[in-house]
Amino acid sequence: MFDLSFFKIAVLAVIALVVFGPDQLPKLAAQAGRALRDVRRMAENARADLQEHLGPEFSEFDLNELNPKYFVRKHLLDEPGGAANDSADGSGVAGIGAGQRSEEDDLIARLEPGESPPYDVEAT
């Protein structure tokens, strides 16, 4: 999620040790753990309350569908048949109106790796 490598985590630990000191660091870590646990508990309680109050007609409703990433992927990037669009380069990224290729799309598909597309002054 944050793309933290072992080196980055070690640097953050050393900075925290210098800023807070070795006697305060365990206390702060415990407080952070309790805060995270409380936030997770509150989120789970809110989810349970929402599920309970929606009623039986929404028993199969998945709350993950409200996540913006899921919503965009489902409604903008999927084809009507349900399969996700794949771009010509295989990156799996597709735009709105996929399936409609223009002359500009063909030009971009012919670019060499690392080559930037031509700049259109009138388009901006």
Would you say residue 88 lies in a domain?
yes
* Confidence band, pLDDT 50/70/90 cuts, at residue 120: confident
11 and 57 belong to one structural domain: yes
Would you say residue 97 lies in a domain?
yes
Last-in-domain residue among 20, 41, 61: 61
Would you say residue 123 lies in a domain?
no
What confidence tens digit (pLDDT) does each residue in 99-117 have?
Answer: 555 666 666 667 777 777 7
Closest CA to 98 of 109, 85, 80: 85
42 and 81 belong to one structural domain: no
Asked if residue 2 has pLDDT above 90, the reply is no
Q: Six-digit token pair at 92?
A: 């799996």
What confidence tens digit (pLDDT) does each residue in 77-95 have?
Answer: 765 554 444 444 444 444 4
32 and 68 belong to one structural domain: no
Would you say residue 119 lies in a domain?
no
Would you say residue 31 lies in a domain?
yes
74 and 34 belong to one structural domain: no
Calculate the alpha carbon distances from 54 to 41, 46, 51, 64, 80 in Å. Answer: 20, 12, 5, 15, 28
Q: Which domain does 93 fall in, by range?
A: 62-112
DSSP-derived secondary structure for 39-80 = HHHHHHHHHHHHHHHH-GGGTT--GGGGSHHHHHHHHTSB-T
Residue where the block lists tokens 């789970």: 44
Q: How many CB atoms lie within 10 A of CB 95?
A: 11
Q: Which residue has the higher pLDDT, 81 or 24?
A: 24
